[in-house]
């Protein structure tokens, strides 16, 4: 729905009649892919939220490619959808297509990742403070190791994505000034379990079979789960010989924490669609412009926070 005078009048009529105004709206969703359990849960929740609210969701899986996302957005614009949800795989290169959406008067809401475009080009962005997530992870590690020397290996997310950039920055901020903490190896594992395992194997090999590694910081839980497997196959105990801290809060990571094989995770809610749809509904109703950034909560969980219970609470939620 374009917010012109005609539709505003329709909106006012629908609201005064007490009908569900937004029902039947067509929403295009350009999703990155299915690289992680967290991503799967975000997709599931977006689909179920759309269904509950009576929207028609046009779903497009970009298989990790920005060009597929750009093509999907152009197709949504050509169809004249009422809004577009975009989870941008990388932070750069969106200006032209976002300008095309603005030209067509289609509001765009960013989900979970940021772009470097002007914020005039989208209605709002729903996501966590990604730098803060890294700071929480690094703060936990600094406090846990105290004065002990600690050589850290880092598994980064997808190169050029805002969570990879910001979670790295946040973690480095947190360990700055702790001279006993040092990141000795850092490489991308592309947010996947398979690459997390593969890269961790190379870290272990390069670091005296893992004997020289004190901790792993992974930018997401899936890479941590893959790395935990690699650590076990190397004959070491993850969670003891090598501390494991990561981000997302997926069920498998809680299971690893319950088994003592992971130490901490910073939760990222997969429910980005709920706040996004609330913002769109207010906008459609009377043109209310939401804040440019709708921040979700980031919560630290450790082995002391009932990981077995947290696993049970999350296991059926689409991860």
Draw the binding track, 229-268, toward ligand AHR (x: CB under 6 A; -: no contact).
------------------xx-------------------x
Nearer to ligand AHR, 34 or 75 (CB): 34
Q: Which of 246, 278, 284, 283 is nearest to 265 (CA)?
A: 246
- Relative orientation angle of helices 273-286 and 5-16, to the nearest 10 degrees: 100
* 108 Cβ contact list (under 8 Å, min separation 6): 73, 83, 84, 85, 86, 98, 101, 102, 121, 122, 123
For residue 301, the minimal CB distance to ligand AHR (Å) is 15
Nearer to ligand AHR, 189 or 210 (CB): 189
Draw the binding track, 197-236, toward ligand AHR (x: CB under 6 A; -: no contact).
-----------------------x-x--------------
**How far apart are alpha carbons 242 and 239 in whole angstroms?**
6
* Contact (Cβ atoms closer than 8 angstroms) between residue 170 and residue 140: no
Q: Which stretch binds ligand AHR (CB under 6 A): 31-39, 118-126, 234-242, 288-296?
A: 31-39
C-alpha dihedral (274, 280, 284, 288), degrees to nearest 10: 110
Q: In this structure, how many other beta carbons lie within 10 angstroms of the beta carbon of residue 132?
A: 18
Nearer to ligand AHR, 141 or 268 (CB): 268
82, 112, 201, 252: which one binds ligand AHR (CB under 6 A): 112
Interaction of residue 38 with ligand AHR, rule CB under 6 A = yes
**Residue numbers at the binding site for ligand AHR (CB under 6 A):** 35-36, 38-39, 112-113, 163, 191, 220, 222, 247-248, 268
């Amino acid at each position: 729905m374009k917010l012109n005078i005609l539709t505003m009048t329709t909106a006012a009529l629908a609201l005064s009649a007490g009908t569900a105004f937004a029902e039947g709206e067509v929403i295009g969703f350009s999703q990155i892919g299915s690289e992680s359990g967290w991503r799967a849960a975000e997709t599931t929740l977006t689909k179920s939220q759309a269904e509950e609210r009576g929207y028609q969701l046009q779903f497009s899986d970009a298989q990790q490619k920005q060009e597929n996302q750009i093509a999907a957005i152009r197709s949504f614009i050509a169809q004249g959808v009422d809004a577009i949800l975009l989870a941008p795989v990388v932070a750069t290169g969106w200006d032209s297509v976002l300008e095309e959406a603005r030209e067509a008067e289609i509001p765009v809401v960013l989900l979970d990742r940021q772009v470097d475009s002007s914020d005039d080009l989208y209605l709002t962005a729903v996501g966590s403070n990604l730098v803060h997530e890294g700071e929480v992870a690094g703060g936990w590690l600094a406090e846990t190791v105290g004065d002990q020397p600690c050589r850290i290996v880092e598994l980064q997310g997808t190169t050029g994505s805002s969570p990879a950039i910001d979670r790295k920055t946040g973690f480095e901020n947190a360990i700055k000034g702790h001279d006993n903490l040092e990141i000795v190896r850092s490489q991308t594992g592309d947010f996947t379990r398979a690459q997390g395992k593969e890269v961790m194997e190379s870290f272990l090999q390069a670091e005296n079979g893992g004997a020289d590694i004190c901790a792993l910081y992974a930018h997401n839980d899936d890479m941590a789960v893959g790395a935990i497997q690699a650590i076990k196959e190397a004959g070491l105990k993850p969670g003891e010989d090598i501390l494991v801290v990561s981000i997302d809060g997926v069920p498998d990571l809680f299971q690893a924490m319950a088994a003592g094989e992971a130490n901490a995770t910073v939760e990222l809610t997969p429910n980005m669609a709920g706040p996004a749809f609330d913002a769109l509904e207010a906008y459609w109703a009377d043109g209310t412009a939401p804040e440019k950034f709708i921040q979700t909560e980031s919560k630290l969980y450790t082995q002391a926070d009932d990981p077995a219970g947290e696993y049970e609470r999350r296991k059926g939620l689409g991860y």
